[in-house]
Amino acid sequence: MADKDKTPRNRVVRNRQIKETVQRHNQSSARKAQKAAKADLKEANEELTKAKEAYEKAQEAFKAGKIDEEALENAKVKLRKSSRKAENCKKVKKKVKKTNPTIGQKARQTGRKITTRAGQEFLEAGLSKMIH
């Protein structure tokens, strides 16, 4: 039995299976990373919107004399922090997308045809989204 596993053909098949497993794992990780980056960006943008509104209200209140300069400065700092966070999330999302291409993106980058049925369906779904 051990001799049978060591034949060149079986080794080639086993290596191919290992490669496919690793590739599937990498694709899964790429999708998870992209989803996480997208969620982080959405959260940061919501936070930024709230900070902008709070700063505008603080400016109006300051002009009306309801709050002091320190409170206005605090609102400004929060706005700056949330702006930086949103900017960083955009950079991370862009970097994740470049370093972890999905099946369709990888095929378009390399110009290769996708041979797996799942990959083909994925690519067709992506193309149909672009058309509609």
Q: Are residues 67 and 22 in the same domain?
A: yes
- Whether residue 79 is found in the same domain as residue 94: yes
Q: Are 90 and 105 contained in the same domain?
A: no
Out of 8-12, 20-24, 52-56, 119-123, the most confident range is: 52-56
pLDDT computed for residue 86 by the predictor:
92
54 with 119, same domain? no
Q: Which residue has the tokens 């999708």?
A: 31
Give the per-residue pLDDT at 122. Answer: 59
- The whole-model pTM stands at 0.58
Specify whether 60 is located in the same domain as 122: no
The number of domains in the chain is 2
Is residue 41 within 8 A of residue 93, CB to CB? The reply is yes
Together in a domain, 87 and 132: no
C-alpha 122/C-alpha 107 separation (Å) is 11
My answer on whether 90 and 58 are in the same domain is yes
Q: Regarding predicted confidence, which is higher, 33 or 127?
A: 33
Q: Do 94 and 106 reside in the same domain of the chain?
A: no
Q: For 102, what's the count of Cα atoms within 13 Å in the CB-facing half-sphere?
A: 16
What crossing angle do the helices spanning 117-131 and 103-110 adopt, rounded to 10°? 80
Residues 42, 66: one domain? yes
Residues 88 and 116 reside in one and the same domain: no
CA distance 67 to 126: 52
Residue 64, domain extent: 2-100
